[in-house]
């Protein structure tokens, strides 16, 4: 892709996306420019990723074709006020902010602007992201394709209705945290059983990866796949019963609901 891509804000999520984009050779480093609040962050990014950096958000707004807003949601308004007049008409503005609505983007950009709401997740870092996109206004087919290419370069992407975004945030944007907690808990439990810690992390993570791959690659219900692991009178069913007693599934469903409620409450 020969587009120039800018990130305003370069924290955990932007870094994951940039790593993913570079890892898939979608863009050259010289075609990515990022800003941050502090020069310390930018020096680190330059060293780690080799992309262009600037402390000036306006410079990014002026120079890029695709502008990705990657600051915390509460800063969107200030940042957009700062750069609004510098964004050229043909620039595609991409939000990754939780709770940032299409309405908000429309209100805070010039009339006729091109904008998109998205929600990525941090596994983009290793090319296994799961992102969702809600199309905004004034976009040409090719421009939508360009944005989809960016998100495809670090994983999978679905175009969804805006009303599904809170649920998506809860089961994909935020869920890597729950999965890391699962891996950590399984590893701790493995350590309790005598398995060396690092080995336990590797084993737990591989078990999660393999299980996820089975769901994605075999057209079988996850419940059946679970049943296939439970030998009659065997070890697994004991763990399954214990998980049910502990409210494992209800706990996950409740966590997802809390996350979606929070996402809704953050809506701007
Ligand atoms: N983390 C995640 O898993 C996900 C996050 N998101 C969304 O991504 C966005 C960013 O989150 P995340 O990466 O976690 O946040 P971070 O706190 O890791 O990064 C925020 C970045 O914004 C920079 N920044 C702060 N103020 C300004 C400013 N005025 N101008 C330019 N840059 C500024 C910070 O600079 P400095 O480093 O110098 O302080 C930092 O680099 C949020 O809107 C969030 O909702 C979406 C999906 C997943
Ligand atoms: O916790 C958050 O608000 C962001 C959005 C999704 C993941 N992290």
129 shares its domain with 199: no
End-of-domain residue from the set 134, 165, 196: 165
* CA 174 – ligand 2 centroid, Å: 5
- Give 76 Cα–ligand 2 centroid separation in angstroms: 15
Task: Kindly state the average pLDDT of the residues 40-68.
Answer: 97
Ligand lying closest to the C-alpha of residue 132: 1
Residue at which a domain ends, from 130, 145, 165? 165
Q: Where does the pLDDT of residue 105 fall: very low under 50, low under 70, confident under 90, or very high at 90 and above?
A: very high
Residues 105 and 177 in one domain: no
Cβ–ligand 1 contact at 79 (below 6 Å)? yes
Whether residue 116 is found in the same domain as residue 185: no
pLDDT of residue 94: 98
pLDDT given for residue 108 in this prediction: 98
Closest ligand to the CA of 13: 1
137 and 27 in a common domain:
yes
One domain for residues 42 and 105: yes
Q: Quote the pLDDT of residue 58.
A: 98
Mean pLDDT of 81-98: 97
- 19 and 94 belong to one structural domain: yes
Distance 76 CA to ligand 1 centre (A): 10
List the CATH number of the domain containing 243.
1.10.3730.10
The chain-wide mean pLDDT, for the chain, equals: 97
Q: What is the residue range of 62's domain?
A: 5-165
Q: Do both 150 and 186 map to the same domain?
A: no
Both 155 and 62 in one domain: the answer is: yes
**Would you call 131 helix, strand, or coil by DSSP?**
strand
Residue 79 sits in a domain whose CATH number is: 3.40.50.720
Same domain for 204 and 260? yes
Whether 24 and 73 map to the same domain: the answer is yes
Residue range 244-256, pLDDT digits in tens? 999 999 999 999 9
Are the beta carbons of 118 and 141 closer than 8 angstroms? no
Point out the ligand nearest to the CA of residue 12.
Answer: 1
Confidence of residue 133 (pLDDT cuts 50, 70, 90): very high
Which of the listed residues 165, 192, 223 is the one where a domain comes to its end? 165
Specify the pLDDT at position 249: 98
Q: How many other CB atoms are found less than 10 A from the CB of residue 42?
A: 19
Residues 209 and 130 in one domain: no
| pLDDT digits 0-9 by tens, 176-194 | 999 999 999 999 999 999 9
Task: State how many domains the chain has.
Answer: 2
User: Does 118 contact ligand 2 (Cβ within 6 A)?
Assistant: no
Indicate which atom in ligand 2 lies nearest the CA of residue 98: 5
SS3 25: coil
Q: What is the average pLDDT across 94-119?
A: 98
72 lines ligand 1 (CB under 6 A): yes
Same domain, 38 and 119: yes
What average pLDDT does range 231-253 have in this prediction?
Answer: 98
Q: What is the mean pLDDT of residues 121-146?
A: 98
Among protein residues, the one with the nearest Cα to ligand 2's atom 5 is 98
What is the predicted pLDDT for the residue at 89?
94
Measured in angstroms, how far is the CA atom of residue 129 from the centroid of ligand 2?
14
**Which residues have a Cβ under 8 Å from the Cβ of 61 and sit 6 or more positions away?**
6, 8, 67, 83, 86, 87, 91
3-state DSSP percent of the chain in helix, strand and coil, to 5: 60, 15, 25
Which residue lies with its CA nearest to atom 29 of ligand 1? Answer: 37
């Amino acid at each position: 892709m020969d587009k120039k891509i800018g990130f305003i804000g370069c924290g955990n999520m932007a870094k994951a996306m940039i790593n993913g984009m570079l890892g898939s050779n979608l863009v050259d480093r010289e075609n990515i420019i990022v800003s941050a609040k502090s020069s310390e962050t930018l020096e680190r990014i330059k060293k780690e990723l080799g992309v262009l950096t600037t402390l000036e958000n306006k410079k990014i707004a002026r120079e890029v074709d695709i502008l990705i807003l990657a600051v915390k949601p509460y800063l969107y308004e200030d940042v957009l006020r700062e750069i609004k007049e510098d964004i050229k008409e043909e620039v595609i503005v991409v939000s990754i902010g939780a709770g940032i609505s299409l309405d908000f983007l429309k209100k805070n950009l010039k009339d006729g602007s091109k904008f998109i709401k998205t929600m990525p997740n941090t596994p983009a870092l290793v090319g296994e992201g799961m992102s969702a996109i809600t199309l905004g206004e004034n976009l040409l087919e090719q421009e939508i394709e360009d944005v989809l290419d960016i998100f495809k370069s670090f994983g999978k992407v679905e175009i969804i209705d805006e009303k599904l975004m809170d649920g998506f945030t809860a089961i994909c944007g935020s869920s890597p945290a729950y999965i890391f907690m699962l891996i950590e808990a399984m590893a701790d439990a493995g350590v309790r059983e005598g398995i060396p810690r690092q080995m336990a992390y590797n084993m737990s993570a591989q078990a999660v990866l393999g299980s996820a791959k089975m769901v994605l690659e075999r057209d079988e219900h996850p419940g059946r796949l679970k049943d296939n692991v439970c030998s009659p009178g065997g070890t697994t069913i004991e763990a399954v019963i214990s998980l049910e007693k502990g409210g494992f599934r209800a706990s996950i469903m409740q966590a997802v609901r809390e996350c979606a409620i929070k996402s809704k409450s953050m809506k701007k």
